[in-house]
Amino acid sequence: MLVQDAHRLRAVGDWTLPHYARLREAVAKIHEAESVDLQQLGELDTSGAALLVDLLGPETVRDIGQWAPNLPTERQALLEAVANATRTPPFAPPSPRSNPLAALAGLGQVVEQLAKQQLKLVAFIGLTLSTLLATLVTPWRWRVTSLVAHVQQSGLNAIPIVALLTFLVGAVVAFLGATVLRDFGATIYTVNLVTYSFLREFGVLLAAILLAGRTASAFTAQIGSMKANEELDALRAQGLNPIELLVLPRVLAMMISLPILTLIGMLSGMLGGALVCAFALDITPTQFLTILQRDIPLRHFLVGMSKAPLFAFLVAVIGCLEGFKASASAQSVGEHTTSSVVQSIFMVILLDALAALFFMEMGW
């Protein structure tokens, strides 16, 4: 309770939760005091400390060691902790939206974040490659079982969706090509359009984008959940390397799976185009295969297949890195899972565009 005598205000008795209602009424009547005598204070818990902070003010309570030096240390610490918890951050007025400097500063922050993100990616790629080189010379450290399991999850289980999607895209490309080429009397070149597009671009690009959305997100969620459950700390405590144990099998599995899926995507896309040619353009499958064998050089197939391991490596590394960056919360795991999908698709499309320019300049 609070006792007001002729000289000063005194806190008497227990300031605990059972007495909170009565104490709150007494504090409300006093409003704010410059100092309170705490010599006769009984028991004190968080609720009582909050009332004393309301009565004296956070700034006064933070200096309790000066004006109440005889108070036990644990009670001083409790009052200071409650006072610090009730500290309100200074109000920062929002910057005007029309301020060009504020917009430029925001753009600079975004660019800085992107630069830091790319530096982390480059560093993680270097760490992965160094661990891979160290593991290749020690066969007893290979994780063959984990590698086979990830090949099945990321490769074999993705065959139906990759085949279906590329088949439908091949049919659409053939329809669009026939619509345009019909005006020039050159519908026979629909075969060249479909084969060129799927051998060089669509086969590997669609497979990589599907794996970026399907597998990279799974890698991030798996590793992020392990970090949230402190399983990564347990692996390190046992002397195991998380990069060797978790990252390398996933990266190698993607580098094995994506070329296979790329080949399946190429075949499925050309099959969809061949069916459209057969039913809509009166180009028989025999004619389609003859034109494919006669007019389409092998280098276009090699160009498409050469991009598959690079795309697979980047997608897997980005998915694993975002998993390691997640914190111990479900929200963080979800945010980094989304980030891994966006980054993977962006990097795949960017590298595909750069590769297309390079091969065009080289005449390949």
Dist CA 9 CA 214 (whole Å): 68
- Low-confidence winner among 74-83, 155-164, 241-250, 299-308 (lowest mean pLDDT): 74-83
Q: What is the mean pLDDT of the chain?
A: 83
The sign one gets for the Cα dihedral 28, 30, 32, 33 is negative
The whole-model pTM stands at 0.68
Place of tokens 């993680």: 124
- Residue 336: other Cβ atoms inside 10 A: 25
The pairing of beta strand 36-37 with beta strand 2-4 = unpaired
Tokens of 75: 């009670």
Length of the chain: 364
On whether the CB atoms of residues 12 and 36 are closer than 8 A, the answer is: no
What is the C-alpha R_g of the chain? 33
pLDDT at 7: 54
- Low-confidence winner among 3-12, 140-149, 168-177 (lowest mean pLDDT): 3-12
DSSP 295-327: HS-HHHHHHHHHHHHHHHHHHHHHHHHHHHH--
Q: Which residue has the higher pLDDT, 45 or 255?
A: 255
pLDDT tens digits, one per residue of 192-215: 889 999 998 899 999 999 998 888
Question: Is 90 exceeded by the pLDDT of residue 1?
Answer: no
Question: Is 70 exceeded by the pLDDT of residue 268?
Answer: yes
What share of the chain in percent tops pLDDT 90?
23
Q: SS3 string of 220-260?
A: HHHHHHHHHCCHHHHHHHCCCCHHHHHHHHHHHHHHHHHHH
